């Protein structure tokens, strides 16, 4: 048996994880046009329940938050009932599962919103080739800047869906504030050009995330709430000149809550904005004292090093979990990994194909 630090158990506050391998959130687009979690999704997550923790695919908090074809939501009672089936399946297999709460912000399109523009901190379009919409590939559009008076309703959406996540039986929630989606857009000077209390200074750009955390920790204890950040990321046309100062400030503020963990995408697999040296987990470890989860393109050996050096407590893996439902066993026994799945079916409504049809290892 492997002596890898990945297989040490971990006390995530009052939640015991059997190992330090986390299944990262990955949008897989199997919820159908009604965005309802279903039995196929339950099978998918149950197959991977040997992970110490599963973080669900990004799950939208409202119709306004949508921006990806057939991704799931959590904003109706029917969606809650669907997620209950998923959670019960994972718990029945001995796993733990957090729900990731999501608002796409400007990474959306009017096709998702009955012809109305997507919303963002500021009316700044993504510089990219196209977005997949219900009508097919479309050019990115200029979003509508959220009015100051709309922000309390947005915060209420996060609070209400945090309550629904608890009703569905999840072990905790992760707030998606990464990868160029709404909360990340508010954090970064590239996408936030506001002149109200939510823009301008680093402190003001953090304000919305802080208010969202305040809201959801009125529902969940802070030790069952996590946040995801991508300080190095270029995905969705992100990257700000003051990224290091901004994200260290964010981590300092989040440290005050006693969160479950801080999920940091320090790897460069999603692209690097190249505005300076990449931020490292060790920088965050100096200012954030709750558990740190590292993520983004790790090999097993890289993850082991992150934990062995103390830079991370947990390591999240995304793509390897797609074609290796038994990834934990493969790591533990040094079995080879399966070849990557067909990329064209990774994040598309393709049913069971390239989703739940991957075999476990056979010598």
Q: Is the Cβ–Cβ distance between 93 and 46 less than 8 Å? A: yes
DSSP string of 327-357, one letter each residue: HHHHHHHTPPPPPPP-GGGTTS--TTTTTT-
Residues marked as catalytic: 181
Burial zone of 234 (CB within 10 Å; 0-12 exposed, 13-18 middle, 19+ buried): middle
Sequence-ordered alpha helix ranges (H) in 36-76: 39-47
R_g over Cα of the chain: 19
| β pairing state of 15-17 and 10-12 | antiparallel
Integer Cα distance of 60 and 68 in angstroms? 10
Helix and strand numbers (H, E) in the chain are 10, 14
Taking the CA of residue 166 as centre, how many other CA atoms within 13 Å lie in the half-sphere pointing to its CB? 13
Q: Cα(26)–Cα(297) distance, rounded to whole angstroms? A: 13
The answer to whether the beta carbons of residues 48 and 323 sit under 8 Å apart is no
CA distance linking residue 178 with residue 269, whole number of Å: 14
**Which of the 8 DSSP states describes residue 38?**
-
CA distance 307 to 209: 28
> Angle of helix 77-92 relative to helix 151-167, nearest 10 degrees?
40
Give me 217's structure tokens.
Answer: 């920790």
């Amino acid at each position: 048996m492997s002596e890898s630090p990945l297989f040490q158990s971990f006390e995530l506050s009052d939640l015991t994880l059997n190992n330090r391998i986390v299944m990262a959130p990955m949008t897989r687009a199997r919820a159908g046009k009604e965005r309802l979690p279903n039995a196929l999704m339950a099978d998918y997550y149950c197959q991977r329940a040997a992970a110490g923790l599963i973080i669900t695919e990004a799950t939208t908090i409202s119709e306004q938050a949508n921006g990806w074809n057939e991704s799931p939501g959590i904003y109706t009672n029917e969606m809650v009932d669907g997620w209950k089936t998923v959670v019960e399946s994972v718990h029945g297999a001995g796993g733990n599962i957090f729900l990731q709460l999501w608002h796409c912000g400007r990474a959306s399109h009017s096709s998702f919103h009955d012809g109305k523009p997507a919303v963002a901190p500021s009316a700044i379009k993504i510089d990219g080739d196209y977005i997949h919409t219900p009508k097919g590939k479309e050019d990115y559009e200029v979003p509508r800047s959220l009015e100051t008076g709309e922000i309390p309703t947005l915060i209420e959406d996060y609070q209400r869906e945090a309550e629904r996540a608890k009703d569905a039986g999840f072990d905790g929630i992760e707030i998606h504030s990464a990868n160029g989606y709404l909360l990340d857009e508010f954090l970064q000077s590239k996408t936030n050009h506001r002149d109200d209390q939510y823009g301008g200074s680093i402190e003001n750009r953090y304000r919305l995330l802080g208010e969202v955390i305040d809201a959801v920790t009125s529902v969940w204890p802070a030790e069952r709430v996590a946040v995801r950040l991508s300080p190095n990321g270029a995905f969705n046309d992100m990257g700000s000149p003051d990224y290091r100062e901004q994200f260290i400030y964010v981590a300092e503020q989040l440290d005050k809550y006693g969160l479950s963990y801080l999920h940091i995408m320090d790897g460069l697999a999603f692209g690097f904005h190249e505005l300076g040296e990449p931020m490292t987990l060790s920088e965050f470890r100096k200012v954030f004292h709750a558990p740190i989860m590292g993520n983004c393109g790790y090999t097993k050996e890289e993850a082991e090093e992150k934990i062995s050096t103390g830079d991370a407590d947990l390591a999240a893996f995304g793509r390897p979990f797609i074609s290796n439902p038994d990834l934990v066993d493969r790591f533990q026994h040094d079995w080879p990994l399966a070849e990557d799945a067909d990329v064209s079916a990774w994040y598309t409504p393709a049913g069971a194909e390239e989703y739940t049809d991957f075999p476990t290892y056979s010598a």
